[in-house]
Amino acid sequence: MAKKIKRYFLTDENNQKLTELNCHDSTLGPDVLDVTPLYTDTGMLTYDPGFNSTASCKSKITFVDGEKGTLLYRGYEIDDLARNSNFLEVAYLLLEGELPDKKEFSEFEYSIRTHTMLNEQLHTFFNGFRRDAHPMAIMVGVVGALSAFYNDSTDFTDRKKRIITSRRLIAKMPTIAAMAYKYSIGQPFMYPNNALGYSENFLQMMFGTPCDPYKVNPSVAKALDNILILHADHEQNASTSTVRMAGSTGANPFACIASGIASLWGPAHGGANEAVIKMLKKIGDKKNIKGFIEDVKSHKTRLMGFGHRVYKNYDPRAKVIRESAHHVLKSMGRNDPLMELAMELEAIALKDEYFIERKLYPNVDFYSGIIFKAMGIPESMYTVIFSVARTVGWIAQWTEMYGDSDSKIARPRQLYIGKTERKYKKK
């Protein structure tokens, strides 16, 4: 028997029916009211700044339950994947919908390993930046510039073209990220070494030099791989929505990903991990936590790494990363006072009425900076690494959008509150 569609009626104050709205069933999470006939039937629009109550698309990729604090990639719990999988396997899962078998994985991994090099001409782009440029500025510029190198077709309705584009992007992001770092410290660029795995190769390009052979620390490579898994996708967040929006015009995918990087850079989004370390350094000592919390509560500042638009519970990624931070510090024989400070700050905030009332819990960024710091990664590179991981999610979502017959150019409307029409009169 066909499933009954739930319908809702919008009526005016005299109970006259204005329109009839269908409700789409979700497999998990809230059902969604389809407001597409609203304007035609009533001449009215919906108003939802920040998209608190708006589903911008249908998606099968990632599910976040903000109340429970769960995150699923294609139905698998993030914690399960972080413990048992690796980044490239997760990338395949996000892109293709299923975990790869052995053959599929080796074909995918080989393809990524052999697309890591950049066109040599791209090296000249880096020289145009000041040495003190933020690496995210370089990322936006250089990834955007890739569109000039791969603009063979704008017809991405062809699945083969989408596949090759996604592999190029995933493979080249670590190379560009490491080059942005090398440029900022004045060291020669390191070419990718295709004998190495994804995370190992990235570390080699970041920390190796042509003068000395670089030995990758396996615990550091494992921790990095884990961080990449945790950051790979997060449904329709600001940067992903930016990529989908840019992509909805049919724009070149490299340019779309550059727009995602720009959106991720903001301190309210991916830039928060860098902001957390800056905040912890500023607090400096456990004895200053109380005063800092008072400043937060009087809205003088924000507790960075806390709060999330969707999570009203502990971010499940923060749980994994907190554990991983302990592991990395231990394996490197380090005892970071910032970790101690962060744990104390977390404990105090979680007991404070201000944070309890507003359901503010640590998000993924609260502890990621501490791991990066232990790995010797400079603050300015934290969001860059986030962008390397999130490229997988962006490209999976961009690909999904192309395959969705409901997709349209994204063109929101507005509630106009400006002047009404008036005649020009010189002042």
Stretch of 110-118, 149-157, 283-291, 302-310 lying at the interface with ligand ACO (CB under 6 A): 302-310
Which of 115, 231, 234, 308 is the catalytic position?
308
Task: Give the residue at shortest CB distance from ligand ACO.
Answer: 307
Angle, alpha carbons 16-17-18 (nearest 5°): 110
- Short-list 31, 154, 163, CA closest to 92: 163
Is 278 a binder of ligand ACO (CB under 6 A)?
no
Contacts of 152-156 with C-beta under 8 Å, sequence gap 24+, read 154/250, 154/252, 156/250, 156/253, 156/402
- Short-list 174, 139, 129, 166, CA closest to 150: 166
* Residue in the structure block whose two tokens are 């704008």: 154
Instruction: Give the one residue of 196, 223, 360, 377 binding ligand ACO; rule: CB under 6 A.
Output: 360
CB-CB contact of 327 with 375 (8 Å):
no
Which of 225, 233, 315, 365 is the catalytic position?
365
Instruction: Give the one residue of 177, 296, 338, 392 binding ligand ACO; rule: CB under 6 A.
Output: 296
Is 305 a binder of ligand ACO (CB under 6 A)?
yes
Is 279 a binder of ligand ACO (CB under 6 A)?
no
Q: How far apart are CA 32 and CA 53, in angstroms?
A: 9
Is 270 a binder of ligand ACO (CB under 6 A)?
yes
24 flagged as catalytic: no
365 flagged as catalytic: yes
Whichever of 174 and 305 has its CB closer to ligand ACO, that residue is: 305
Instruction: Give the one residue of 307, 316, 369, 393 binding ligand ACO; rule: CB under 6 A.
Output: 307
Is 369 a binder of ligand ACO (CB under 6 A)?
no
Is 269 a binder of ligand ACO (CB under 6 A)?
yes
Is 375 a binder of ligand ACO (CB under 6 A)?
no
The minimum distance between CB 384 and ligand ACO, in angstroms, equals 14
Residues in the chain: 427
Residue 420: φ, ψ to 5°? -85, 175
Rounded alpha-carbon distances, angstroms, from residue 180 to 112, 214, 276: 20, 19, 22
Q: How far apart are CA 415 and CA 319, in angstroms?
A: 41
The minimum distance between CB 54 and ligand ACO, in angstroms, equals 14
Whichever of 196 and 304 has its CB closer to ligand ACO, that residue is: 304
Per CB under 6 A, residues contacting ligand ACO are: 268-270, 272, 296, 299, 302-309, 358, 360, 363-365
